[in-house]
Amino acid sequence: MKRTLIRNLITIVGLLTGAALLNAGEVKIELGGNDMMQFDKTELRVPAGSTVNLTLNHTGKLPKAAMGHNFVLLKAGTDVAAFAMKAVAAAATEYIPEGDEVIAYTALIGGGESTSVSFTAPEAGTYDYICSFPGHFAIMRGKLIVE
Ligand code: CU
């Protein structure tokens, strides 16, 4: 009887420890984009392998057609300018072109809207993120640093 109780306690402690580890692997990020074509953060840091829950908030008022914003995370080594050029032609898919350069992306949103995406942080390194709406990447870009 006593032995079972101890065994159950050990199991519970084990489960709690496991849950704590899982929590440590989750990262929440809030990123803003405004009517001035700016992200409010140009550097994001996350642990390798963590689950990243990123929410993009469009804090402006302009409609999606005029000032649409998204978050597009690119694989290491991607030619950002070349990718952005390709994206311009991909209006039908919210400026996400075909290809394998993208690690994760959000929907395209207009003023006052929010959208989220979850992805697993890649291996340690530095990754570019941009808004792929035509003309925005030159200013709307930043680095995701995976540690
Ligand atoms: Cu934008």
pLDDT at 39: 98
pLDDT at 16: 47
pTM of the model: 0.84
Q: Which among 98, 23, 104 is positioned nearest to 56, based on CA atoms?
A: 104
Cα(59) to centroid(ligand 1), Å: 12
Could you read off the pLDDT of 93-131 as tens digits, one per residue? 999 999 999 999 999 999 999 999 999 999 999 999 999
The β-bridge relationship of strands 43-46 and 141-146 is parallel
Tokens of 8: 């159950």
Tokens of 133: 């709406």
- The rounded distance, in Å, linking the Cα atoms of 72 and 105 is 4
Cα(20) to centroid(ligand 1), Å: 36
What three-state secondary structure class fits 144?
strand
Half-sphere exposure of 52 (CA within 13 A, CB side): 25
pLDDT at 12: 45
Ion ligand 1, residue ranges at CB < 5 A: 69, 131, 133, 136, 140
Residue for token pair 């209006």: 91
- The rounded distance, in Å, linking the Cα atoms of 125 and 146 is 5
Cα(35) to centroid(ligand 1), Å: 9
Position 141 pLDDT exceeds 70: yes
Which runs of consecutive H residues, i.e. helices, occur in 1-147? 2-24, 64-67, 80-88
List, edge to edge, every strand of the sheet that includes 26-33.
26-33, 51-58, 114-120
The CA-CA-CA angle for residues 7, 11, 17, to 5°, reads 145
CB neighbourhood size of 92 (10 A): 7
User: Dmax of the chain from CA atoms?
Assistant: 70
